[in-house]
Amino acid sequence: MPPAVIVAYDPAWPARAQKLLHELRSVFVSLAGADQFAYEHIGSTAVPGLAAKPIVDLQIRMPSLPSLAELADLLAPTPFVPSHGARLDSPGVHMDTPRPGDRTDAALYEKRLFHAPAEEAILHIRRCDSPFAEFVVEFRDWLRHHPDQARRYEQIKRALAEQHAAASDYDDYTRAKSAFLNEIQPAMRSWAHNRLS
């Protein structure tokens, strides 16, 4: 895997995401509860103007998680294949890490991860009640509405990408972003709560 390279925002990213999500909807329509699934473009490529790794992050939320094997069979006609991470401790492959203050029931954080190297896309499949699934959507929306913080996040990512330029994977880069997430989480959660009330 190449090092974490941050590139200028590409206006084509949302269209790529929607095309892939449309393809995924057609694949998962046969699953029980498919009418309750949420299909989302998440991550930095979902924030207009934000520089990012040129990899589109997608999320599907389901009431319950099918097995990895069942999902892999369903996804066989698509470019997505199971992702196992670069190391045994690669973050966020089979489990998400609870955010500070969130419920810690391990079952809520189980996930399925797929990637499509040729499409430069990653697919995160999480439960509808996953606090982490909610967090990534809140974070995306918060950055969309706070361009000053999006610019600051971009500067942090560029510095971290340079710091980890010699790494063979994204793992340490991913972990290093946690300090920023921890710092902004109280303000972000307050904003998200006020937005819904």
Is 92 part of any domain?
Answer: yes
The pLDDT tens digits of the residues spanning 32-61 come to 999 999 999 999 999 999 999 999 999 999
Q: What is the CATH number of the domain that holds 89?
A: 3.30.460.10
Q: Is 13 helix (H, G, I), strand (E, B) or coil?
A: helix
**Residue 170 in domain:** yes
Q: What is the DSSP string of 62-84?
A: ESSPPPHHHHHHHHTTSS-EE--
Tell me the per-residue pLDDT of 126-180, one tens digit each, with 9 for 90 and over. 999 999 999 999 999 999 999 999 999 999 999 998 998 888 788 888 888 999 9
Is 80 among the domain residues? yes
| Residue 96 located in a structural domain | yes
Token pair for residue 109? Answer: 């954080």
pLDDT at 157: 94
Q: For residue 123, which phi and psi values (nearest 5 degrees)?
A: -120, 120
| Domain contains 5 | no
Calculate the average pLDDT of the chain: 94
Distance in angstroms (rounded) separating the CA atoms of residues 4 and 158? 9
Residues 161, 164, 165: CA angle, nearest 5 degrees: 75
- Look at residue 6 in the predicted model and tell me its pLDDT: 93
Please tell me the total count of domains within the chain. 1
For 196, other C-beta atoms within 10 Å of its C-beta total: 6
E runs forming strands in the chain: 38-42, 56-62, 81-82, 111-116, 121-127
* Domain around 163: 13-196
Position 2 in a domain: no
Per-residue pLDDT band for 3 (boundaries 50, 70, 90) equals: low
Instruction: Please name the amino acid found at residue 191.
Output: W
| The pTM of the whole model exceeds 0.85 | yes
94: pLDDT strictly greater than 80:
yes
Residue 74 and residue 72: Cα distance in Å, rounded? 5
81-86 average pLDDT score: 91
In a domain, 7, yes or no: no
Position 49 in a domain: yes
What's the gap between Cα 57 and its chain centre?
5
Rg (CA), the chain: 16
